[in-house]
Amino acid sequence: MDSHIILIGFMGAGKTTVGKNLARKTGFPLLDTDHLIEEQTGKTVKWIFEAWGEEEFRRLETDVLKTLADRPGDWVLSTGGGLPMKEENRKLLGQAGMVVYLKAEPETVLNRLSRDRNRPLLAGSDRKERVESLMAFRGPVYESGAHVIVKTDGKSPDAISDEIVSALFAKNG
């Protein structure tokens, strides 16, 4: 049986870093929904938000997920932070593999993204407030779509990946 590990969670929770670590550890290729959208459109996520709008970006996310569902072989998938907000997407993810929610406190996220200027949803002032309210809204949704929840605050990417690999072994036997 192919193993598919799917990382969900807020911007700055560590999905990309942990995804790279997991890919190294398991030898599975790393896929990333933001990168796949950028490859397919030839545009950056930031550009798509500004020029085509968030709704179009969300449509592209669902398209990408549908193509991944049939992708054979083992893989690790890092997803955009807003992708699991659509019920259709949560269903597709749940069917595609083991969904792991990387859970982080707002302080962790704010620290990690303090210099980031590429997240359209965090542009502008009041970043702290925005992160806190968006996380309060999204947290329960991530939890509802996850098979496994891993807290990431204060942990190294290596330690987080070890937890995920153990969960995968426990699931697949």
> Site residues (CB under 6 A) for ligand S3P?
11, 15, 34, 45, 80-82, 119-121
Minimum CB separation from ligand S3P for residue 49, in Å?
7
Q: Give the contacts of 116 (CB within 8 A, at least 6 positions apart).
A: 12, 122
CB 5, CB 165: distance < 8 Å: no
**81/157 with CB nearer ligand S3P:** 81
Residue carrying the six token digits 């259709």: 88
- Dist. CA 83–CA 34, nearest whole Å: 10
Minimum CB separation from ligand S3P for residue 130, in Å?
11
Minimum CB separation from ligand S3P for residue 21, in Å?
15
**121/159 with CB nearer ligand S3P:** 121
**88/169 with CB nearer ligand S3P:** 88
CA 2 to each of CA 74, 97, 171: distance values in angstroms, whole numbers, following the listed order: 5, 9, 12
Minimum CB separation from ligand S3P for residue 131, in Å?
10
Phi, psi for 100 (deg, rounded to 5): -115, 120
In the chain, what is the straight-line distance between the N-terminal and C-terminal CA atoms, in Å?
Answer: 11
**120/139 with CB nearer ligand S3P:** 120
**80/97 with CB nearer ligand S3P:** 80
- Dist. CA 58–CA 120, nearest whole Å: 13
Minimum CB separation from ligand S3P for residue 89, in Å?
12
